[in-house]
A = this chain, B = another copy of it.
Amino acid sequence: MALIVQKYGGTSVADPDRIRAVAEHVAFTKRHGNDVVLVVSAMGKSTDNLIALAEKVSSVRTGREMDMLLTTGEQVSMALVSMALADVGVDAMSLTGDQMGIITDTVHGKAKILEVKPERAQEAIAQGKVVVVAGFQGLSTNNEITTLGRGGSDTTAVAIAAALGADSCEIYTDVTGVFSADPRIVPQARKLARISFDEMLEMAGAGSKVLALRSVEFARNHNVPLQVRSSFTWEPGTWVTAEESSMEDPIISGIVQDANESKVTVLSVPDRPGISAALFEPLAAANVNVDMIVQNTSNDGKTDISFTVPKAELKIALEIVESVAAEIGAGGVSHQSDIAKVSLVGAGMKTSPGIAAKMFRVLADEKINIEMISTSTIRISVVVAAASTEKACQVLHTAFGLDSGQAYSAPLPERK
C-alpha cells in the first residue's frame, strides 16, 4: 500500500464537472489500495477575480490582508473536492494550511515553509480518510495566515509528501508532462518520460512554467519522486526523480525559452572593487530578481555591466539602477525589452565538451545574434532578439537530436 500525494492545479478544479472528475480519479487510486492526500489550488480564475476585486476596493493592499483574501480560494476548492469525494463514496476531510500544520516564515505573499506538522493528517489517514489540503497557504510563526507565492501549491504538495514520507507526489496540471521544448513553438517536441531533479531545476530557472522552482528544490532536497501529469487525459506523465546515470542518457534533455525578462545595461562603469555590490545590493533589498549578469572586460578602467530582470520588475529596477549609476559615476543606463532567453538543459552536458560551441555555431548559421551568455554545469542560456526565439528553439531542437527517438529507455514505475 503506497501513500500518494496528488496536487491538482486551478484548471483541474475549474468547475463542478472537473471537480467530479478529480474525485473519480482519486476514488480509483484509493480503491487500488493507496492512501491519498490531495493538495488543491483555487478554482480556475478565482484568484485573479479576487485580486481584481481588491484592486477595485483599495489602492492600499497589504500583504496580510491580501493573504486573508486569497487563501479563501483554496479553501473553497478543498471543501468542494471533499464533498465530491463523499459523493463517490470516499471518506474525505479537508484541512486548511493551518490545520495541515504548514508553518511558514512571516513574509506575506511569498512565505517559505519552515516545517510541516502532519499529525492531524496522519490521524485522518490512519482512519482511512483521504485528506484534502488547501494549497499555497500556511500559518506563520506569529499566527498569521500566509501565502507561499507563485507555484505555492506545488510546494505545499512536495512539502507534505516529504513530511508524510509519501511514495510519490503527482502534480496534475493542464499539460501531459515535461516536453523537450514548448510544443507551441517546436511542433516536433517530445514528452520526456523521465528527467532528473537537477535538470528540472535548470529548466524551471530557465523559464519553464511546468513546475515551480521551489517545489523542485524541495523535492530534490527531500528526494520525493514527482510525476507531472494531466488531469484532462490521465495518461502517464513525466517522472522527475534523482539522477541515475545511464549509457543511454541524452546529452540534452530539453530547450526552454523565456520572453519574460528585460535587459538592463549600465554603461561605462568605473572598474573598481565594490562596484558590483553597490549595484546589486539595492536591487536585492528591493526584491528584484536579477537573473543573468554579464560584465565585459575592462577598457580604460571602464566596463559595461548587463543583467536581466523580470519585465514586471523593470520599472523599479531602472529607478534603483539610475540612482546608483549617478552615484558611482557611470556613463548611463540603457534597457531593452524585446529580448528572449533560450536555454539548453541536459545532465549529459557535464561530460560532453563542445555543447556551447555547437550551440553558438547552430545559431550563427541561422544569423541569430547572441547578446548575452550564461552557463551552469548542465545549462547554457543565451539572450537573443525576441523575434528570433521560435527559430532558435526549432533549429537547436533538431541540431541536438531531440526531434525523434526515446530520450530515456530505463524502465519506469507503472502508474495509471
Contact = CB atoms under 8 A, between A and B. Distances in A.
Interface string A9-33: 0000000100110000000000000
Tell which of A64, A78, A80 has the most Cβ of chain B within 10 Å.
A80
A68 B97 CA distance: 12
Interface string A121-161: 00000000000000000000001010000000000000000
Given A20-B57, A57-B87, A87-B58, A75 B68 contact: yes
Contact of A59 (B65, B78, B87): B87
A283 to B, nearest CB: 28
Contacts of A83: 54, 57-58, 60-62, 65-66, 69
A19 B68 contact: no
Nearest to A17: B56
A76 interface: yes
Tell which of A59, A72, A87 has the most Cβ of chain B within 10 Å.
A72
Contact of A94 (B53, B59, B68, B82): B68
Given A62-B86, A68-B75, 19 more contacts: A16-B53, A19-B57, A20-B57, A53-B76, A54-B83, A57-B80, A57-B83, A57-B84, A58-B86, A59-B87, A60-B86, A61-B83, A61-B86, A65-B86, A66-B79, A69-B83, A72-B72, A96-B145, A99-B143
Contacts of A64: 93-94
Contacts of A20: 57-58
Tell which of A19, A54, A83 has the most Cβ of chain B within 10 Å.
A83
A152 B69 CA distance: 21
A61 B85 CA distance: 10
Contact of A84 (B58, B78, B87, B143): B58
Q: Is the interface of A mostly helix, strand, loop or mixed?
A: helix
Nearest to A95: B68
Q: Which 6 A-B pairs have the closest CB atoms?
A: A69-B79, A58-B83, A60-B86, A72-B72, A58-B87, A16-B56
B59 A82 contact: no
Tell which of A54, A65, A75, A99 has the most Cβ of chain B within 10 Å.
A65
A320 interface: no
A345 B62 CA distance: 49
A64 B129 CA distance: 14
A290 interface: no
A40 to B, nearest CB: 12
A50 interface: yes
A50 B68 contact: no
Contacts of A69: 75-76, 79-80, 83
Contacts of A86: 58, 60-62, 65
Contacts of A68: 75, 78-79, 82, 94, 96
Nearest to A80: B57
Nearest to A69: B79
Nearest to A55: B16
A60 B79 contact: no
Nearest to A50: B76
Contacts of A62: 83, 86
Nearest to A85: B58
Contacts of A58: 20, 80, 83-84, 86-87
A9 B314 CA distance: 43
19 contacts: A16-B53, A20-B57, A20-B58, A50-B76, A54-B79, A54-B83, A58-B87, A60-B83, A60-B86, A60-B87, A61-B83, A61-B86, A62-B86, A64-B94, A68-B94, A69-B76, A72-B72, A72-B73, A72-B76
Nearest to A73: B72
A16 B360 CA distance: 54
Contacts of A50: 76
Contact of A65 (B16, B57, B60, B82): B82
Contacts of A75: 68-69, 71-72, 75
